[in-house]
Amino acid sequence: MTIAKLNDLGQEIFLSRYAYPGETKWQERAKAIARTVAAAETDEDKVVVERTFYEAISSGDFIPGGRIIFGSGRSGGKHNLLNCFVIIPEDTVDSIGKTIQDMYKISCAGGGIGFNVSKIRPKGDNIGTVSNSAPGSVSVLKMINEVGEHVKSGKNRRTALMGILNITHPDLLEFLHVKLDNGELENFNISVAITNRFIEAVQLDEPWYFTFNNKEYHNYLLTATNTKGEQRELSVIALDEVDAIKRAEGFHREDWTETFEVIMRKDIMAKWLWDRIWTNAVDSGDPGIYNIDLANSYTNVSYFEDLPSTNPCGEISLPSYGNCCLGNLNLANMVLPDGSDVDWKRLAKTVRTGIRFLDDVLTVNHFPTPECKEVGHRSRRIGLGVMGLHYMLINLGLVYGSEKCLEFLERLFATIRDESYKTSIYLARDKAPFPAFDRDKYLSESFAKTLPIRIRHYIRKFGIRNAVMLTIPPTGTISMLLGVSSGIEPIFSAMYNRRYRQGNIWKEQLVVDPLFKEYYLDGKNLDAFVGAYDVDPEDHMKVQATIQHYIDSCISKTINLPADFESKNMIEQALEFAPYLKGMTIYKAGSKGNEPLQAIPLTEENVKKYMQLPEIETASADGQACSLAGGGCGD
Q: Which residues are marked as active site? A: 311, 313, 315
CA 487 – CA 13 distance, rounded (Å): 18
Q: Do 379 and 468 meet the contact criterion of CB atoms below 8 Å apart?
A: yes
CA distances, 534 to each of 90, 405, 490, 602 (Å):
44, 16, 9, 10
Rounded CA-CA distance 385/311 in Å is: 15
Question: Is residue 278 within a helix (H) or strand (E), and if so which, with residue range?
Answer: helix 270-284
- Tell me if residue 37 falls in helix, strand or coil: helix
56 Cβ contact partners less than 8 Å away, ≥ 6 residues apart:
62, 350, 353, 354, 357
**DSSP characters over 128-181:** TTBTT----HHHHHHHHHHHHHHHHTTTSPPP-EEEEEETT-TTHHHHHHHHHT
CA distances from 627 to 156, 329, 426 (A): 17, 22, 38
Residue 502 burial (C-beta neighbours within 10 Å; 0-12, 13-18, 19+): exposed
User: With contact defined as beta carbons under 8 Å apart, do 114 and 159 qualify?
Assistant: no
* Residues 6+ away with beta carbon under 8 Å from 623: 489, 490, 491, 492, 531, 532, 533, 558, 560, 587
Cβ–Cβ under 8 Å, residues 319 and 86: yes
d(C-alpha 275, C-alpha 267), whole Å: 15
Which residue, among 558, 546, 574, has the nearest Cα to 189 in the 3D structure? Answer: 558
3-state secondary structure of 513: coil
Count other C-beta atoms under 10 Å from residue 350's C-beta.
Answer: 25
Cα distance between the two ends of the chain: 26
Amino acid at site 246: K
Q: Please say whether the beta carbons of 357 and 466 come within 8 A.
A: no
Are 481 and 10 contacting, i.e. CB atoms less than 8 angstroms apart? yes
Say how far apart CA 514 and CA 485 lie, in whole Å: 10
The two counts, helices (H) then strands (E), for the chain are 22, 23
Cβ within 8 Å of residue 459, ≥6 positions away: 421, 425, 439, 442, 443, 448, 451
The conformational region for residue 150 under phi > 0 = left, psi -120 to 50 = alpha, else beta, is alpha
309 three-class SS = strand
How far is 27 from 18, CA to CA, in rounded Å? 12
Q: DSSP label at 610?
A: H
Alpha-carbon span 139 to 145, nearest angstrom:
10
The strand pair at 161-166 and 112-116 is best described as parallel
DSSP string, 417-437: HHHHHHHHHHHHHHT---TT-
